[in-house]
Amino acid sequence: DSGVTQTPKHLITATGQRVTLRCSPRSGDLSVYWYQQSLDQGLQFLIQYYNGEERAKGNILERFSAQQFPDLHSELNLSSLELGDSALYFCASSPRQGNTGELFFGEGSRLTVL
Protein backbone atom coordinates (compact mmCIF):
# COMPACT_ATOMS: atom_id res chain seq x y z
CA ASP A 1 0.00 0.00 0.00
CA SER A 2 1.56 3.29 -1.15
CA GLY A 3 -0.65 5.48 1.04
CA VAL A 4 -2.10 7.23 -2.02
CA THR A 5 -5.86 6.68 -2.38
CA GLN A 6 -7.74 7.03 -5.62
CA THR A 7 -11.47 6.82 -6.17
CA PRO A 8 -13.31 5.44 -7.96
CA LYS A 9 -11.31 2.34 -8.92
CA HIS A 10 -13.49 1.70 -11.95
CA LEU A 11 -15.81 3.98 -13.87
CA ILE A 12 -17.89 3.30 -16.96
CA THR A 13 -19.58 6.17 -18.71
CA ALA A 14 -20.79 7.33 -22.11
CA THR A 15 -19.30 9.69 -24.65
CA GLY A 16 -20.05 13.33 -23.98
CA GLN A 17 -20.29 12.83 -20.23
CA ARG A 18 -18.19 14.36 -17.47
CA VAL A 19 -16.43 12.54 -14.63
CA THR A 20 -14.35 13.48 -11.61
CA LEU A 21 -11.48 11.39 -10.33
CA ARG A 22 -10.30 11.91 -6.80
CA CYS A 23 -6.90 11.47 -5.21
CA SER A 24 -5.76 11.67 -1.61
CA PRO A 25 -1.97 11.88 -1.35
CA ARG A 26 0.17 10.28 1.32
CA SER A 27 0.00 12.01 4.66
CA GLY A 28 2.39 14.96 4.58
CA ASP A 29 3.00 14.91 0.82
CA LEU A 30 2.48 18.31 -0.77
CA SER A 31 2.90 17.41 -4.45
CA VAL A 32 0.30 15.59 -6.51
CA TYR A 33 0.83 14.38 -10.05
CA TRP A 34 -1.68 13.00 -12.56
CA TYR A 35 -0.72 10.53 -15.28
CA GLN A 36 -2.75 8.86 -18.03
CA GLN A 37 -1.95 5.30 -19.13
CA SER A 38 -3.80 4.02 -22.18
CA LEU A 39 -3.90 0.29 -22.98
CA ASP A 40 -0.36 -1.05 -23.39
CA GLN A 41 0.95 2.49 -23.43
CA GLY A 42 3.35 4.46 -21.32
CA LEU A 43 2.64 6.99 -18.60
CA GLN A 44 1.65 10.35 -20.03
CA PHE A 45 2.18 13.23 -17.63
CA LEU A 46 -0.88 15.43 -17.33
CA ILE A 47 -0.36 17.93 -14.54
CA GLN A 48 1.32 18.55 -11.18
CA TYR A 49 0.19 20.52 -8.16
CA TYR A 50 2.21 21.61 -5.17
CA ASN A 51 0.47 22.80 -2.02
CA GLY A 52 -2.59 23.91 -3.94
CA GLU A 53 -0.85 25.56 -6.88
CA GLU A 54 -0.25 24.28 -10.38
CA ARG A 55 3.49 23.65 -10.89
CA ALA A 56 3.91 21.79 -14.16
CA LYS A 57 1.68 20.98 -17.09
CA GLY A 58 2.09 18.20 -19.60
CA ASN A 59 -0.08 17.02 -22.46
CA ILE A 60 -3.37 17.73 -20.76
CA LEU A 61 -6.34 18.32 -23.05
CA GLU A 62 -8.40 21.48 -22.67
CA ARG A 63 -11.38 19.24 -21.84
CA PHE A 64 -9.51 18.12 -18.74
CA SER A 65 -8.91 20.20 -15.64
CA ALA A 66 -7.57 19.58 -12.18
CA GLN A 67 -7.15 21.24 -8.85
CA GLN A 68 -5.66 20.63 -5.44
CA PHE A 69 -7.66 21.61 -2.41
CA PRO A 70 -6.49 23.07 0.93
CA ASP A 71 -6.58 19.60 2.50
CA LEU A 72 -4.18 18.57 -0.32
CA HIS A 73 -6.51 16.12 -2.02
CA SER A 74 -6.78 16.57 -5.76
CA GLU A 75 -9.46 16.08 -8.37
CA LEU A 76 -9.11 15.51 -12.09
CA ASN A 77 -12.16 16.54 -14.10
CA LEU A 78 -12.68 15.04 -17.54
CA SER A 79 -15.47 16.50 -19.68
CA SER A 80 -16.99 15.93 -23.11
CA LEU A 81 -15.59 12.43 -22.90
CA GLU A 82 -14.49 10.61 -26.04
CA LEU A 83 -13.79 6.93 -26.65
CA GLY A 84 -10.07 7.70 -26.71
CA ASP A 85 -10.19 8.97 -23.14
CA SER A 86 -10.60 5.39 -21.93
CA ALA A 87 -7.49 4.76 -19.86
CA LEU A 88 -6.05 4.15 -16.44
CA TYR A 89 -5.52 7.43 -14.62
CA PHE A 90 -2.86 7.41 -11.95
CA CYS A 91 -2.31 9.90 -9.21
CA ALA A 92 1.06 10.06 -7.49
CA SER A 93 2.40 12.09 -4.62
CA SER A 94 5.79 13.16 -3.32
CA PRO A 95 6.87 15.15 -0.29
CA ARG A 96 8.38 18.28 -1.82
CA GLN A 97 8.10 20.21 -5.05
CA GLY A 98 11.74 20.02 -6.01
CA ASN A 99 12.31 16.64 -4.45
CA THR A 100 14.18 14.26 -6.73
CA GLY A 101 12.90 11.33 -4.78
CA GLU A 102 10.27 8.72 -5.24
CA LEU A 103 6.78 9.21 -6.60
CA PHE A 104 4.22 7.11 -4.78
CA PHE A 105 1.47 5.98 -7.11
CA GLY A 106 -2.10 5.15 -6.24
CA GLU A 107 -3.80 2.05 -7.62
CA GLY A 108 -5.34 4.08 -10.44
CA SER A 109 -8.84 4.83 -11.67
CA ARG A 110 -9.82 2.83 -14.74
CA LEU A 111 -12.12 4.87 -16.96
CA THR A 112 -14.08 3.20 -19.73
CA VAL A 113 -15.96 5.42 -22.17
CA LEU A 114 -18.59 3.63 -24.25
Partner 1 sequence: GENVEQHPSTLSVQEGDSAVIKCTYSDSASNYFPWYKQELGKRPQLIIDIRSNVGEKKDQRIAVTLNKTAKHFSLHITETQPEDSAVYFCAAKNAGNMLTFGGGTRLMVKP
Residue 56: CB minimum distance to partner 1, A: 4
Query: 59 by DSSP, 3-state: which?
Result: coil
Bond before 70 cis per omega within 30 degrees: no
Residue 20 within binding range of partner 1, rule CB under 8 A: no
Residue 111: CB minimum distance to partner 1, A: 15
- Beta pairing class for 87-94 and 31-37: antiparallel
CA–CA separation, 106 and 114 (whole Å): 24
Residue 100: CB minimum distance to partner 1, A: 4
**Closest among 109, 112, 114 to 46, alpha carbons compared:** 109
Q: Which of residues 26-65 bind partner 1 (CB under 8 A)?
A: 33, 35, 41-45, 48, 55-56, 58
Chosen residue from 90, 109, 111, 113 binding partner 1 by CB under 8 A: 90
Helix (H) or strand (E) holding 104: strand 104-105
Chosen residue from 106, 109, 111, 113 binding partner 1 by CB under 8 A: 106
* Interface residues toward partner 1, by CB under 8 A: 2, 33, 35, 41-45, 48, 55-56, 58, 90, 97-98, 100-103, 105-108
